[in-house]
Chains A and B, each alone.
Chain A
Amino acid sequence: MEDTSKAMPVPKRSLGAWGLIAVPYFWLLVFFLAPFFIVFKISLSQIAIAIPPYIPTFDLSEGWSAFKDNLAMLSFDNYVWLTEDDLYWKSYLSSVQIAGVSTFLTLLLGYPIAYGMARSPKEWRPTLLMLIILPFWTSFLIRVYAWIGILKNEGLLNQLLLSLGLIGEPLTILNTNTAVYIGIVYSYLPFLVLPLYASLEKLDISLLEAAEDLGCPPWRAFWQITVPLSLPGVIAGCFLVFIPAVGEFVIPDLLGGSNTLMIGKTLWVEFFANRDWPVSSAVAVILLLLLVIPIVLFQNQQQKMAEKDA
């Protein structure tokens, strides 16, 4: 995610070179950027029993005065509604909290894996790397589904623990927040391990050797050398887990319970069950604003890293 444009000259362009820019640019403007304006507009509309289920719909064929009348009908009522009904802000808070806790747990589990990979013999590393990437290619839905059979009351985990005599009665894990944590950690682990491994592998071993020669105990060398130098990888990995986890839908829906509030699920229910398009649009706008800050921070950090490498 580097921006190298400043170093580049402004070339003279042929028609073909302009076409090269125009085609993907136009596609993204129409199918990525324009939809956000529509979402924003509909978030200012009202729910209606009609097709599509909101008013006003802008029909330019009705002329300018009708357009102006429609414009006057837009209001911020949906946003006021979001602050009044505590379901929404509780969903936002709980999404951020669940994503935060899961990111921390992913880091706890991912750091030793990335560290072990970076310290493994060189000829193992491509295989280990592929083993980390492979689950990323297999279906997200399937990987989440696989946990249902393990975590449910009569599931494999409870069967194992009961037969070992570790527990007297089955643990209730499925349909609780614990299951959501497990699901997020499991699904997003590769996203954290990959950047972390990249920065741990680059680490200069001679620094650790120097510390050891000077009598520094290994745990101290780890905290004072390895951890600070791997920090860019830690930050990149945590963003890659945290940002998508906040808006996650499949995991809380399949593994979470009725009291698991996450904003992605709230938006889904608002749209598909309540068919309230204006309110779900308003939820989406707020979620987007909430995520703009971490996304921008992430982009800046990536850019800084790219500049340092260059």
Chain B
Amino acid sequence: MRNGPTWFNVTSLVLGFSFLYLPIVLLVIFSFNESRLVTVWGGFSTKWYGELFQNQQLLDAAWVTLKVAFLSASIATVLGTMAALVLVRSGRFVGRSLFSGMIFAPLVMPEVILGLSLLLLFVAMDQARGFWTVMIAHTTFAMCYVAVVVQSRLVGFDKSVEEAAEDLGCPPAKTFFQITLPIIFPGVIAGWMLAFTLSLDDLVIASFTTGPGATTLPMKIYSQVRLGVTPEINAVCTILVGLVTIGVIAASLVTKRQQVQRERDERLAFGPH
């Protein structure tokens, strides 16, 4: 068996990744286009970025979106981590399969159904729609993603450390905060980031559950995109893509360093074998 990449493998990787990245790269390039005609190059310019910061509506929408994303990601992380602990640690209880069903179903459920059903709930509860209803809706579907991410972290973890703490008389809450949480922390952080970007990104569920005064950035982008491609929208998208890329790369570097650190700690703790 030949080892190393063959020409076929390299070609399929190059073509595949070009397909994935070319559209985004083109979008970024054309956000620096001087010309208003989005597909004709008219020279380099950053004027569209300057105009963005004059657009008060867009800035308001961005601010609402960030607030919703931050709050919903934080609540979803707490609820999702609890749900993951229940799935992995709680053993059998009445309604367990219903519980795990409710965790996994939203991951594949079409967004139009989630959005419509939550809206009808809020109407039935006679709840005025706006910031809080979008926040609750995002929390609900994001907590399921957090639960799955944290669960995968909990499954591969040595339970004997926790049991040792409990045998030594450590109360469960203290065991959780001093032992379990530090170990699963990378999963919790990854879950929070996933929840944050999902909320930042969501158009469909937010459109159903929002009300006056709570227009989110994706809704704003969507309403402008329907009218056609504009350089301003290219600029907004470039900023969003840039922020997310920096965030993901930074997070992966941090997790990598933590992993190296933990492996070193474990080697020290258990000594040479």
Q: Which residues of A contact B (CB under 8 A)?
A: 1, 3-6, 8-11, 13-14, 16-17, 20-21, 23-25, 27-36, 38-39, 42, 52, 109-110, 112-113, 115-117, 119-121, 128, 130-135, 137-143, 145-150, 152, 154-156, 159, 186, 189-190, 205, 208-209, 212, 239-240, 243-244, 246-250, 254, 264, 267-268, 271-272, 277, 280-281, 284, 287-288, 291, 295, 298-299
Task: Name the residue of chain B whose CB is nearest to the CB of A254.
Answer: B225
Docked complex Cα distance between A230 and B247 (Å):
33
Decide if B19 touches A186 in the complex (CB within 8 Å).
Answer: yes
Name 8 extra pairs, CB < 8 A, besides A14-B172, A32-B106, A189-B20.
A6-B92, A17-B172, A112-B9, A139-B201, A150-B23, A156-B39, A272-B207, A284-B116
List B93-138 residues whose CB lies under 8 Å from chain A: 93, 95-97, 99-100, 102-106, 108-113, 116-118, 120-121, 123-124, 136-137
Decide if A149 touches B27 in the complex (CB within 8 Å).
Answer: yes
Decide if A20 touches B110 in the complex (CB within 8 Å).
Answer: no
Contacts of A39 in B (CB 8 A): 113, 116-117, 120
Decide if A117 touches B117 in the complex (CB within 8 Å).
Answer: no
Stretch at the interface among B48-56, B82-90, B181-189, B264-272: B82-90
Decide if A131 touches B17 in the complex (CB within 8 Å).
Answer: yes
16 inter-chain pairs at a CB distance below 8 angstroms, sorted by A residue, are A1-B104, A23-B82, A24-B82, A28-B103, A28-B143, A29-B102, A35-B121, A39-B116, A112-B12, A117-B13, A135-B20, A146-B26, A264-B110, A281-B116, A287-B113, A299-B104
Docked complex Cα distance between A133 and B79 (Å):
25
CB of B80, distance to nearest CB on chain A (Å): 8
Decide if B140 touches A32 in the complex (CB within 8 Å).
Answer: yes
Contacts of B139 in A (CB 8 A): 27, 31
B157 part of interface (Cβ distance < 8 Å)? no
CB of B149, distance to nearest CB on chain A (Å): 12
- Of the candidates A21, A39, A186, A291, the one having the most CB atoms from chain B within 10 angstroms of its own CB is A21
Task: Name the residue of chain A whose CB is nearest to the CB of B148.
Answer: A1
Contacts of B117 in A (CB 8 A): 35-36, 38-39, 284
Task: Name the residue of chain B whose CB is nearest to the CB of A209.
Answer: B1
Decide if the interface of chain B is mainly helix, strand, loop or mixed: helix
Decide if A28 touches B4 in the complex (CB within 8 Å).
Answer: no
Contacts of B16 in A (CB 8 A): 109-110, 112-113, 116, 189
Chain B 229-243 near chain A by CB (<8 Å), digits 1 or 0: 100010001001100
Docked complex Cα distance between A131 and B21 (Å):
9
Contacts of A29 in B (CB 8 A): 102
Task: Name the residue of chain A whose CB is nearest to the CB of B86.
Answer: A21
B32 part of interface (Cβ distance < 8 Å)? no
CB of A83, distance to nearest CB on chain B (Å): 20
Contacts of B96 in A (CB 8 A): 5
Q: Which of B13, B26, B91 contacts A120 (CB 8 A)?
A: B13
B30 part of interface (Cβ distance < 8 Å)? yes
Contacts of A159 in B (CB 8 A): 39
Contacts of A28 in B (CB 8 A): 83, 99, 102-103, 140, 143
B244 part of interface (Cβ distance < 8 Å)? yes
B221 part of interface (Cβ distance < 8 Å)? yes
Task: Name the residue of chain A whose CB is nearest to the CB of B171.
Answer: A16
Contacts of B201 in A (CB 8 A): 139-141
List B6-26 residues whose CB lies under 8 Å from chain A: 6, 8-10, 12-13, 16-17, 19-21, 23-24, 26
Decide if A295 touches B108 in the complex (CB within 8 Å).
Answer: yes
Decide if A142 touches B108 in the complex (CB within 8 Å).
Answer: no
Contacts of A249 in B (CB 8 A): 110-112, 204
Decide if A148 touches B225 in the complex (CB within 8 Å).
Answer: yes
Q: Which of A34, A142, A189 contacts B240 (CB 8 A)?
A: A142
